[in-house]
């Protein structure tokens, strides 16, 4: 027997939901003929609420820090989908009660009709992009449109008013979500990025390295760290002042960043020391980075001489490092080996990742000094 596809399963759920609602509406029509119109089916509503609560509880019990980002988005979508589905199932039933109801019943029906607005308004508590808000809103709009299909007596004025109000609430939620997202990005940049170089600070760099090390160990993929120190940087501060020294640091950071991939991370470890984190990179990947740095150079000192750096490289699997502290310490020691061997060179975990000189000074003749 051929297994059902997702489209078939969705069609079955849609048909089942439609049959349930049609059955309830038919029963209400029979009750109207018997003179029992205007009574809310509390048992049915209670059952739907219990099922919704059970769905929320199930999502809460499924919480796991190791889940992927895609799974987290799916769970968030499921959480946001529960109230609209509840509305889709209950609203046609309540709307079929007609206008021959008391004030309390009419108020309850109106409150249930506000559920889509509450869902869209609830998006405002999340830091979302405009596209994410629009995707969620279109889903809610679709559910509202489906629910109105069960109400042949709905007026055009009511339909326009409902749609206009949904658009307004969507706009407010989108503005709120984007404002939160912008604020969070600003705070993250202020807390995580160094103001002089634009690289990650040491504190945020440690968190990133810890995360990448655990991911590397779990997936058995290489993780390389390159420890970089600017040669003779102290003489720049002593001779030209700290403001010029900061400009040199910023220039070096920009040059190094230009040689990295999007997945690589540049960290200002302290003073004139930088740490380059290269996820999923072994000897070949490090060679590409070293070659780009060597050919492009990192600029000239204020006195016109080339800026050079000494580097040390360590790799998690090749060096059999048990934790990221050991990985960084090993790269630091190899950087000092490069210093002791004459500077402007790279010392790695094998002969392929060693290079002297590291910076090709001949390519910097035409470049202006900082």
Domains and CATH numbers, the chain: 6-192 (no CATH), 202-364 (3.30.70.270)
Q: Check residue 227 and give its pLDDT.
A: 95
Q: Check residue 189 and give its pLDDT.
A: 80
CA dist 28 and 258 (Å) reads 70
Q: Check residue 6 and give its pLDDT.
A: 47
Q: Check residue 214 and give its pLDDT.
A: 93
Q: Are 335 and 228 in contact (CB under 8 A)?
A: yes
Q: Check residue 88 and give its pLDDT.
A: 79
Q: Check residue 1 and give its pLDDT.
A: 47
Q: Mean pLDDT, 10 residues at a time, over the chain (370 residues)?
A: 49 50 50 50 82 87 70 80 81 69 75 80 85 83 74 69 84 90 86 91 93 92 94 92 94 93 93 94 83 85 90 92 94 93 86 66 58
Q: Are 343 and 231 in contact (CB under 8 A)?
A: yes
Q: Check residue 9 and give its pLDDT.
A: 44
Q: Check residue 147 and give its pLDDT.
A: 72
């Amino acid at each position: 027997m051929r297994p059902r596809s997702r489209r078939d399963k969705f069609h079955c759920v849609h048909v089942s939901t439609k049959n349930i609602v049609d059955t309830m509406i038919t029963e209400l029509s029979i009750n109207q003929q018997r003179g029992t119109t205007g009574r809310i089916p509390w048992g049915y509503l209670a059952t739907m609420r219990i099922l919704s609560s059970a769905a929320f509880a199930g999502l809460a019990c499924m919480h796991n820090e190791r889940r992927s980002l895609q799974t987290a988005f799916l769970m968030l979508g499921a959480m946001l989908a529960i109230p609209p589905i509840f509305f889709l199932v209950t609203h046609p039933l309540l709307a079929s009660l007609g206008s021959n109801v008391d004030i309390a019943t009419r108020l309850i029906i109106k409150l249930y009709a506000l559920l889509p607005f509450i869902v869209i308004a609830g998006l405002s508590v999340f830091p979302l992009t405009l596209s994410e808000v629009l995707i969620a809103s279109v889903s809610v709009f679709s559910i509202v449109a489906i629910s109105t299909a069960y109400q042949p007596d709905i007026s055009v004025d009511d339909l326009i008013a409902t749609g206009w109000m949904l658009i307004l609430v969507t706009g407010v939620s989108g503005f709120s979500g984007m404002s939160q997202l912008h604020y969070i990005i600003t705070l993250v940049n202020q807390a995580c990025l160094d103001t002089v170089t634009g690289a990650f600070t040491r504190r945020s760099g440690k968190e990133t390295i810890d995360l990448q090390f655990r991911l590397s160990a779990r997936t058995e993929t290489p993780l390389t760290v390159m420890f970089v120190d600017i040669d003779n940087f102290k003489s720049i501060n002593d001779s030209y002042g700290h403001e010029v020294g900061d400009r040199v640091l910023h220039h070096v950071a920009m040059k190094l960043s230009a040689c990295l991939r999007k997945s690589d991370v540049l960290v200002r470890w302290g003073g004139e020391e930088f740490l380059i984190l290269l996820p999923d990179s072994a000897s070949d990947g490090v060679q590409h980075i070293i070659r780009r740095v060597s050919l492009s150079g990192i600029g000239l000192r204020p006195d016109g001489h080339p800026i050079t750096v000494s580097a040390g490289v360590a790799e998690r699997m090749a060096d059999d490092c048990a934790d990221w502290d050991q990985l960084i310490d090993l790269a630091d020691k190899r950087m000092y080996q490069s210093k002791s061997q004459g500077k402007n060179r790279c010392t790695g975990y094998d002969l392929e990742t060693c290079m002297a000189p590291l910076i090709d000074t001949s390519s910097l003749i035409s470049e202006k000094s900082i």
